[in-house]
Amino acid sequence: MLQGQQTWIFPSKPIIISSAAVGGPFEARGKLADDFDLLHDDIWLEQDSYEQAERELLEQACEIAIQKAGVTKEAIQFFLSGDLINQIIPSSFTARSLGVPFLGVYGACSSSIEGLSLASLIVESGFALNALIATSSHNAAAEKQYRYPTEYGSQKPPTAQWTVTGAGAAIVAKQGQGPRVVASTIGRVIDLGVSDPFNMGAAMAPAAVDTIESHFRDLGITPSHYDLIATGDLGQVGHRIASDLLTQRGLVIPEEKLTDCGLLMYREDQQVLAGASGCACVATTTFGHLLNRMRRGELNRILVIATGALLSPMSYQQKETIPCIAHAVSIER
């Protein structure tokens, strides 16, 4: 049911019965390596292109999530997925391989939480007993499409972030065991006027703050309700801006409680400038690291706010600013 202006409450609390995270060689060196189900030592994954490699990552994450749920592929009723590549082809081609009814979503790097929100709504409404959600990104594929091919060797400013090579998937079901989705807050498109594609954190921070503020307002709760609040991929720059904006608006969240997936992924010596980004950033961190912590009993309630920059190469070339969005999901053990 709708609570307030932007928040869905799920009385039956759909269950995340399984989840999976797959990564590349750079992620294998990161802080969250132990939370990946599969790590590769080659970004090509024996494919002919980076885009095909990304599709392989996405297919593997879906297959692992299905196996961990103990169900067959045929038992999956809906597949929701989106990514950063033109026409979301890794997602649609993965849907071709799965042969499952498919709903393509696009929220840029917020796609995983958008998908989780919609899958929970479908299960809550009774229109399905389960739904698979997934998303992916690939560093070299994203660089080629949005900036410069990695072979070009262009220098980046300190505000730039490193796109995660990986994929995350999860299955939401009516019955089973696992963390439960309690509520989702659907974000609004916020445009602060930032036009620099190498400073996504600054562009996305206001959208994250708007959604966080809406979530607490709609539910009438405070940050103390959660053990951890994690934004998507704001990185160092965006995380600092978001923290300052929240404080200005009267939402003071302790530093140890407010984190960012873009800061959790890599080690300092990996030299990722402002931190991690990409659809797989929040997806692998949530469906791997955060849910694992919940299953171990370390966290009881978390709020994940995935952020997305809704630009394209065309909009950038036409000198448009970067509209951004953030979706939030409340999960409890």
- Compute the average pLDDT of residues 121-126: 98
Query: Are 269 and 310 in a shared domain?
Result: yes
Q: Is the pTM of this model over 0.85?
A: yes
| % pLDDT > 90, the chain | 93
Strands (E), the chain: 2-3, 7-9, 15-23, 38-39, 79-83, 102-104, 130-137, 162-163, 166-173, 180-185, 228-231, 258-260, 276-277, 301-309, 324-332
Query: Are 199 and 321 in a shared domain?
Result: yes
Residue span of the structural domain in which 222 resides: 180-332
Q: What is the CATH number of the domain that holds 228?
A: 3.40.47.40
Query: Are 196 and 286 in a shared domain?
Result: yes
What pLDDT shows up at residue 116?
A: 98
Overall number of domains in the chain: 2
What pLDDT shows up at residue 324?
A: 98
Q: Domain ends where: 146, 173, 200?
A: 173
Query: Are 112 and 186 in a shared domain?
Result: no
Query: Are 142 and 7 in a shared domain?
Result: yes
Query: Are 150 and 262 in a shared domain?
Result: no
3-class state of residue 97 by DSSP: helix
**Which amino acid type is present at position 200?**
M
Average pLDDT value over all residues in the chain: 96
Please, are residues 294 and 200 in contact by the beta-carbon 8 Å criterion? no
Q: pLDDT tens across 210-242, in order? A: 999 999 999 999 999 999 999 999 999 999 999
- Compute the average pLDDT of residues 205-209: 98
Q: Domain ends where: 173, 206, 229?
A: 173
Q: pLDDT tens across 160-183, in order? A: 999 999 999 999 999 999 999 999
